[in-house]
Amino acid sequence: MTKTFDFQTYLADGRKKVEDRLKLVFDQERPALHASLYEAMSYSVLNGGKRLRALLCLASAQACKKYSVSRDKTDDQIEEMVMPLACALEMVHAMSLIHDDLPCLDNDELRRGKPTNHRVFGEAMALLAGDGLLVFANEYLIGESLEKVLPQDLLAVSHGLSRALGPTGMVGGQVLDMSNTGSADGQLDLVVLENIHNGKTGALIRFCLWGGARAIGADELRLSAMARFGEILGLAFQITDDLLDVTGDAASLGKTPGKDAQSNKATFVRLLGLDGARNKLEMLHKEGSSVLSRALDQNEQQILSNLLDYAINRIN
């Protein structure tokens, strides 16, 4: 956080820490009896993702430290408090991609430039690998955090994670998305689209920010700011994704572009147009910066602010 701060180095370091921890669980400490299941889970968890969710959670905790019951801890101790949650977030994210890609949902063959889980391990194993990751995330979160995070904070985090994933969160959003895909008319309702996004992608990204702050026992003001910043960043991230589906290519995306239009999927680009979507991104960027500056001092904002830029600038 000094003047020599380099965001690319920060990203690379953060990713490596998360990656190393995930490798420990899914590669090095695999139970022999369940090697084949761990192989399938590991294939999707250790698949070179951006680790955005983990980084958001870690960054939120560090940014809010001064306003939390953990204010006397070192940055390393804060990281240790939140790392189990950061890893759990990557597990549930991997799970959501596995189930999303299944033939009965998106029927995708390519994910991050590699064959999707069910293409490699078969549908049954992919289904179970997803189920396994979904519950293991909570087992790991609680087991690894018990001695570091206060019980009431950990309960709030575990509850919040399940809520972000459940029927009124991610899964609910997937169902809304499914029931609004493939309609022939070009007229989509912005309220419907926002409901889909809030559930499918938004709830979990919002939780990454809120959860990181909650795990270290941040105050109410910071918790609301992080939740709101998470909503803004999640929406920015989704609009960027929608733009990439139109303007990107398979090599840089690591997945097939143009799928949204093909399947008549509800997207922000379809509703707002390319320019409209880009304008919306700019507004979100301003609002996000403003939320940060009201809750945190200049130094504390830096990484989160960079992460917001990063979520948006993938289109460039």
Binding site for its own copies (CB under 8 A): 31, 33-34, 36-38, 41, 99, 102, 104-105, 122-125, 127-128, 130-132, 134-136, 138-139, 142-143, 146, 151-152, 154-155, 158-159, 162-163, 165-168, 171-172, 174-176, 178-179, 195
State the nearest-atom distance from the C-beta of 139 to its own copies, in Å: 4
- When the beta carbons of 130 and 211 are compared against its own copies, the nearer one is 130
- When the beta carbons of 128 and 315 are compared against its own copies, the nearer one is 128
State the nearest-atom distance from the C-beta of 102 to its own copies, in Å: 7
Give 218's DSSP letter: B
- When the beta carbons of 14 and 199 are compared against its own copies, the nearer one is 199
* Tokens 């997937």 sit on residue: 174
- The three-point CA angle 117-118-120 to 5° equals 70
C-alpha span between 210 and 62 (Å, rounded): 12
- When the beta carbons of 192 and 272 are compared against its own copies, the nearer one is 192
State the nearest-atom distance from the C-beta of 306 to its own copies, in Å: 31
- When the beta carbons of 104 and 251 are compared against its own copies, the nearer one is 104
State the nearest-atom distance from the C-beta of 186 to its own copies, in Å: 23
- The three-point CA angle 101-103-108 to 5° equals 40
State the nearest-atom distance from the C-beta of 124 to its own copies, in Å: 4
**DSSP helix/strand/coil, 171:** helix
Strand ranges, E, within 190-254: none
Identify the CA nearest to 265 among candidates 278, 254, 256. 256
Nearby residues of 14 by Cβ (< 8 Å), 6 or more positions away: 51, 54, 55, 58, 59
